[in-house]
Amino acid sequence: MDESIAGAAASQVTEENLEMAIFAGGCFWCTESDFDKLPGVVSTTSGYIGGTVANPTYDQVVAGKTGHVEAVQIYFDKTKTNFSNLLAAYWLTIDPLTTNQQFCDIGSQYRSVIFYHDFDQKELAEASKKTLEASGRFNQPIVTEILPVTEFYRAEEYHQDYYIKNPLRYAYYRNNCGRDKRLEDLWRIKH
Catalytic residue among 27, 30, 104, 177: 27
Instruction: Tell me if residue 104 is catalytic.
Output: no
Secondary structure of the chain in HEC code, one letter for each residue: CCCCCCCHHHHCCCHHHEEEEEEEECCHHHHHHHHHCCCCEEEEEEEEECCCCCCCCHHHHHCCCCCCEEEEEEEEECCCCCHHHHHHHHHCCCCCCCCCEECCEECHHHCEEEEECCHHHHHHHHHHHHHHHHCCCCCCCCCCEEEECCCEEECCHHHCCHHHHCHHHHHHHHHHCCHHHHHHHHHCCCC
Q: What residues are annotated to the active site?
A: 27
